[in-house]
Structure 1
Amino acid sequence: MTPTIEIHDARDIFTDAPVSLRLEGGCIAWIGAPGTMPDAPPPARRIAAGGRRIAPGFCESHLHLFWGGATLSQLNLLGIEGAEAAAQAIAGFAAETPAVALLVAYSANYEVLGPGTRPDRHALDRLCPERPLLMIAVDGHGAWANTAALAAAGLMTCVPEVENAEVVLGPDGKPNGELREGAAIALVQRLSTSGGREGLVIAGDEPGTVSPADRAADKATLAAALAACAAHGITTAVNMDGNLYLADLLTEMEAEGALPIRVSTAMRLSPAHDDARIAELIEAATRPAQGKLGFGRIKMFLDGVFDTWTAYRTDDYPGRPGFRSEPLFTPERYSALCVAADARGLQIQVHCVGDAAVRLALDGYAAARAANGPRDARHRIEHIDMLHPDDLPRLRDLGVIASMQPVHPPGSSGLPLEPTVSIMGRDRWRDTFPWAALAGAGVPIAFGTDWPTAPLSPFNAIHAALSRTPWAEDVPDQRLPFEAVIEAYTTGGARALFAEEGRGRLAPGMAADLVLLDGDPRALREDAGACRAALTICAGEIVHEAAL
């Protein structure tokens, strides 16, 4: 039975007004001014908030749980700049993990080894000459392997064909170490401790036979990821990828009472999947919710990222006349999948970085509406790094959710400006990461981090949202006010999951999904460390508690 909890002398994050709450049966039973709580039986726990701010639990609207959990035992290179710093970090990590077959580092900037450079296997050989090393780019769409890793994967003798991906070759016809997109990265990632199963989840493919020990390890990886979420005040995790294996793992964990927070997971449809596999994944996505676990969504990718020139755009890439990249699905195939998924009542979410990808995504949603009739579908577009102005009203008119990540603009959260802003092109800067434009047009926004491509902390992301600086004087300021940023992390996330009637607000009858904060959240504009989660409550249960 869920314990009764009283929280006294807190302050509402939105109004800063003093407030107390009584939680019963997993819901907010009462909320009001301190000292006015009606008489009731003593609670199981009485918490003196001491004036700390209280907020609805954060809804992390875009993360990768399995991959994020796997990175907790890998080397984080975010913020590492220069070959010397990278060499020191890798050497230290290698010394700490002598038995690991493949050293895996993540969140490496594309110019991690120095301005104007791009890693290759020869550069990585100088950093780590003997042990296999895989360095994954900050966006997860590129990676680099040293010669030892490429040889261990068999790529130095034979490079297989990979669909919608590339093992980049050097002048000698051998791999130069760069791996573009997931199918290429997976060729080396399978040598890792996890067997690369996190990559298979992202691709929507199955791992085949998994030993009981590996299955238990994978559940432990997910548990670690969920514990990390709870420690940051996150009470709902919206997982962006999935296969049948992950769905089964999460279902088992829910049955075992091992989900501390709510999880919504999608099924990933890939261009490589045949009709039978597509049907299988769509069917899996229709599974009913169970306790803290929800389904009801599919995920597709329409393009890649700017740094590998795989973002699909409406104009030519600077310095590459006639080249705009290509969509991962043909328009006909993509629209057919939208129609099929929408007919089953599923929510569709699509990775779109370039503005042509966004336009194609909207075309698919329009096709689904035309074929199946209008409904409150709340289909989503993930990222929207670039948006053509002509498509702004289409997002509103089609009822699309803009799922955005305030940590993604170059110059934010440890990301350098180059090479991304030059690849985007100076004359397109005004069309990038258009949060304020979307909000002004009435498009609902939900915020997340895309963890582990960026730090999981919502406080770091809120700081990034509030402190973002335009890249030039003629580039619009796309920042949102404090209240709108918090809403995008709470009520906006709940609405994107059709859960706004029960989550995302501080009101009687709402779910007891709450976070009590240490520090002043409004000070996050200046300092990413100005605030932290002191207490996280999900469904009326305390799932994280720091010293109060």
Structure 2
Amino acid sequence: MKLLVSLSVLLCSLMVQAKTTMIHNVQGYTPTKQGSVESFSVLVFKDGKVIKTGDDNTLKQFPNAVRIDGKGKTLLPGLVDAHGHIIGLGNNLMRLDVRGSKTVAEVGKRLREYAKQAPEGWILGRGWDQTLWPEKEFPTAADLDRYVKDRPVVLTRVDGHAIWVNSKAMQLAGINTQTQAPAGGEILRLAKNKPSGIFIDKAEQLVNTHIPPMSDEQRQRALNKAGEHLLGLGITSAHDAGIAYKTWQLYQQRAEQHTLPIRIYAMLSAADPHLAKMLGQGVIKDKDDFLSIRSVKIYADGALGSRGAALLDDYHDRAGYQGLMLETQNQLENLLKQSFSSGYSAHTHAIGDRANRIVLDSYEKIFKQVGGKLLRNRIEHAQIVHPDDIPRFKALAIIPSMQPIHATSDMHMAEQRLDEQQLRGAYAWQTFLKQGSKIAAGSDFPVELANPFHGLHAAITRMSRTNQPEGGWRAAERLNREQALRAFTLDAAYAAFQEYKLGSLEQGKWADFILLDQDYFKVPISQIDDIQVLQTWLAGSLVYQR
């Protein structure tokens, strides 16, 4: 696999873009604004935009067009990931990756090897998940000390809602038995009140603020790494769920230079101290639709795996505990007002049923006070929603921005954390669609792998990549192939006010498309996650080839 960056390829691609070009002999599919999925064998485009799709008769209408033989491959619109973390993904590709580790010892082995390759400074990594380990218990600083004790180590949980640090990191951060967790956070403790080395949600900042900040060069490299990775997976547009001030500056700089590797719809992080300054600059949008910044990412609760998701009732596996709200309802309402008054949408992270209810209550109250209902506001994740609250998404015009892969990653853990009553509205994709809601689908990379075909497989089967459980987990909520593709294309574009520019291969839209090694609509559903991207085209230019 390689990203096409050579001068000769770029010049060739620009020449193609300037002429009427057609890719023929393809099995093409595109969702449409009318709700159907149309098939075609010829795609015609010029100046980066679609002229038309058609069949062999279309070949006669453009006798002077540049012709590219698609060799019978499947062609789809470029996929849109409606919830990811671009710089986080780039960092993840360059840092210690402990995803999939089955034991603490396996994490330690990877840590020790990584420390040899990066012999100086803080060691940062991500991906551990204690629910995959035999004991299923949170680890401790002492577990890391056995492998690295002379340098600070900070490993972020796979969901980003907890960190696991060694004793050196706690020492440098000044953490001791007297240290108190901030509101919205928790420090797990051992005997005699000793911090264990696990910091959940807002308590993460007690350590993270001591990590040396990223340099501009590191941030540039992370963006390039992430862009290269996403293009190779067929993702031409990504919604970046919560950017910091430095990233806000970087994206604008790169947009002005015409060097953004993919299209980015960015949400300002409500937690950034520069939020007011960024909002003061107004909506940001470039004419080529490579950058759009017009929403704020607000954080209501934590995650289910770290028991930070805010529930209406106790956790099934932790009596007397109902998770964490990261903001009070009053704080949420103030952030909504601040966003709407600047013309920005509000996209609020809510995983637990209590968090979803509080967020819906907050939207409803602020819509009545100041408006903002038409801003295509979203709830990010909407994982565990009380059945009584699902219709409120439609009534309040809230878009459920959901990540299908979370259901198959979480299913075993979710059944430990929650009882059957709490699971009634869990990962309820089909229920949302049946009431007329549009689902904006994504992956939440780097929490999950960014591969959208893993997400499409999960959406359609409700099964893991080993195709378990047979028939699918809570299978009534499965999507069909058309619904799943739409959620990763046109409806994701709608959730960013971009349905007239992106998300399908209809006349006048950008010619963002991918060629695949298998037919998405004909391959057995158990094999959808194995589909490989052969080419990625962005605005009529070939930018990736396998």
Query: TM-score, normalized by length of structure 2?
Result: 0.87
Supply the distance in 2 between the matched residues of 1:112 and 1:64 (Cα, whole angstroms): 24
Match for 1:106: what amino acid? R
Change (3 A) 1:526 1:288: closer
Q: Does 1:358 align with 2:356?
A: yes
Deviation at 1:407, TM superposition (A): 1.3
Post-superposition CA distance 1:477-530 (Å, at most 9, x none):
211001100100001111111111222112222211111112232437313552
Counterpart of 1:142 in structure 2: which amino acid?
A
User: Displacement, 1:289?
Assistant: 3.7
Matches within 5 A, 1:109-508: 109-155=129-175, 159=179, 162-184=182-204, 187-188=207-208, 190-191=210-211, 195-197=212-214, 214-270=215-271, 278-284=275-281, 286-289=283-286, 291=288, 292-318=290-316, 323-373=321-371, 375-409=373-407, 411-412=408-409, 417-418=412-413, 420-469=414-463, 475=474, 477-508=476-507
1:285/1:297 contact within 8 Å kept: no
Query: What is the CA–CA distance in structure 2 between the aligned matches of 1:268 and 1:182, rounded to whole Å?
Result: 14
> Cα gap change, 1:189/1:426 in structure 2, threshold over 3 Å: closer, same or farther?
farther
The verdict on how the C-alpha distance between 1:245 and 1:421 changes in structure 2, with shifts beyond 3 A counting, is: same
CA contact 1:520–1:530 (8 Å) conserved in 2: no
Name segments (4+ residues, structure 1) moved above 6 Å.
470-474
Runs of 5+ in structure 2 lacking a partner?
1-13, 31-36
Deviates more, 1:23-32 or 1:150-159: 150-159
User: In the TM superposition, what whole-angstrom CA distance separates every residue of 1:367-416 from its partner, at most 9, and x where no partner exists?
Assistant: 2321234752211000011011111111011111110001112x43xx57
Residue equivalent to 2:79: 58
C-alpha separation in 2, matches of 1:254 and 1:397: 36
Distance 2:448 2:69 in 1: 34
- Give the secondary-structure state (helix, strand or coil) at the position aligned to 2:298: strand
CA distance in 2, matches of 1:46, 1:131: 58
Change (3 A) 1:239 1:143: same
Equivalent-residue separation in structure 2 for 1:444 and 1:416 (angstroms): 23
**Structure 2 CA distance for partners of 1:280 and 1:518, relative to 1, 3 Å:** same
Q: Are the structure 2 counterparts of residues 152 and 346 from structure 1 closer, same or farther at C-alpha, using a change threshold of 3 Å?
A: same
**Does the 8 Å contact 2:310/2:351 carry over to 1?**
yes
SS in 2 for 1:450: coil
Shift in alpha-carbon separation, 1:289–1:6, aligned structure 2, 3 A: same
- For the residues of structure 2 that align with 1:145 and 1:545, how far apart are their CA atoms? 40
Distance in 1 between residues matched to 2:351 and 2:102, nearest whole Å: 25
Q: 1:112 & 1:375 partners in 2: Cα distance?
A: 41
**Contact conserved, 1:107 with 1:453, CA < 8 A, in 2?**
yes
**Counterparts of 2:364 and 2:411, CA distance in 1:** 36
- Corresponding residue for 2:96? 75
Distance 1:485 1:298, change over 3 A: same
Contact 1:111–1:119 (Cα < 8 Å) also in 2: no
Q: Where does residue 105 of structure 1 map in the other structure?
A: 125
Q: What is the SS of the residue equivalent to 1:62?
A: strand
**SS of aligned partner of 2:217:** helix
Q: Deviations over 1:341-392 (max 9, x none)?
A: 2233221100000111111221222223212347522110000110111111
Q: CA 1:136–1:340 in 2, change beyond 3 Å: closer, same or farther?
A: closer
CA distance, structure 1, for counterparts of residue 67 and residue 148 of structure 2: 54
Q: Are 1:24 and 2:46 matched, yes or no? A: yes
The alignment of Structure 1 onto Structure 2 pairs a total of residues equal to 517
Match in the other structure for 1:210 = none
Structure 1 residues 35, 260: CA separation in 2 closer, same or farther (over 3 Å shift)?
A: farther
Whole-angstrom distance in 1 between the partners of 2:333 and 2:113: 49
Amino acid in structure 1 at the alignment position of 2:541: E
Name the residue aligned to 2:18.
Answer: 3
Residue 361 to residue 521, structure 1, CA distance change in 2 (3 Å): same
The question of whether the paired residues in 2 share the 8 Å contact of 1:335 and 1:363 is answered with: no
SS of 1:70's equivalent in the other structure is helix
Deviation at residue 433 of structure 1 after TM alignment = 0.7
Q: What's the Cα RMSD here?
A: 2.7
> Is the CA contact 2:172–2:210 (under 8 Å) kept in the aligned structure 1?
no
Cα displacement (A) at 1:320 = 5.0
Secondary structure of 2:379's partner?
strand
> What residue identity is the alignment partner of 2:454?
N
1:420-471 deviation digits (Å, cap 9, x = unpaired): 4322234322221111111111111010011100001101111222231498
Q: Is the 8 A contact 2:140 2:197 kept in 1?
A: yes
Q: CA deviation at 1:267?
A: 1.1
Report Cα offsets for 1:95-114 as digits up to 9, x if no partner: 3x232422223111123543
Whether the 8 Å CA contact 1:310–1:326 is kept in 2: the answer is yes
Q: What displacement does 1:323 show?
A: 3.7
Structure 1 counterpart of 2:98, which letter? L
- What TM-score, normalized by structure 1, do the two folds share? 0.87
Structure 1 counterpart of 2:240, one-letter code? N
After alignment, is 433-442 or 140-149 more displaced? 140-149
- Counterparts in 2 of 1:136 and 1:375: CA distance versus 1, 3 Å: closer
Distance 2:160 2:526 in 1: 28
Change (3 A) 1:542 1:133: same
Q: Which amino acid aligns with 1:534?
A: L
Gaps of 5+ in 1: 198-213
